[in-house]
Amino acid sequence: DIQMTQTTSSLSASLGDRVTISCRASQDISNYLNWYQQKPDGTVKLLIYYTSRLHSGVPSRFSGSGSGTDYSLTISNLEQEDIATYFCQQGNTLPLTFGAGTKLELK
């Protein structure tokens, strides 16, 4: 199975900050990397798929980049509604696997 590592389990930032969340795969996943946002009430939403493609309705302050084994999600201008936990997920090979999540908190 492909292991997905999010080395930062929690991150503190201020409103308006630029925030970057990282994710590393245990092998090359050929850009098949997706990002999800989970709110404290458990609601999960897709943000970005295939490394950098923005899902419909997702604000443009979210962006993704990366290649090979290393990927990142950037929030360019942090807003209150972005306070959540962010998970990466590889879609290269079954079984599909997720990172452990990065919890974003307000400083």
Q: Which residues bind another protein (CB under 8 A)?
A: 32, 34, 36, 42-46, 49-50, 53, 55, 87, 89, 91-92, 94-101
Please, which residue, 18 or 45, has the CB nearer to another protein? 45
Least spacing, CB of residue 92 vs another protein, in Å:
8
Residue 92 CA to its chain's centroid (Å)? 16
Of 34, 7, 38, 44, the C-alpha closest to 92 is: 34
Name residue 75's beta-bridge partners: 19, 62
Please, which residue, 32 or 72, has the CB nearer to another protein? 32
Please, which residue, 33 or 75, has the CB nearer to another protein? 33
Least spacing, CB of residue 30 vs another protein, in Å:
11
Name residue 53's beta-bridge partners: 49
Least spacing, CB of residue 14 vs another protein, in Å:
26
Q: Are 23 and 33 in contact (CB under 8 A)?
A: yes
Q: Are 33 and 91 in contact (CB under 8 A)?
A: yes
Least spacing, CB of residue 29 vs another protein, in Å:
10
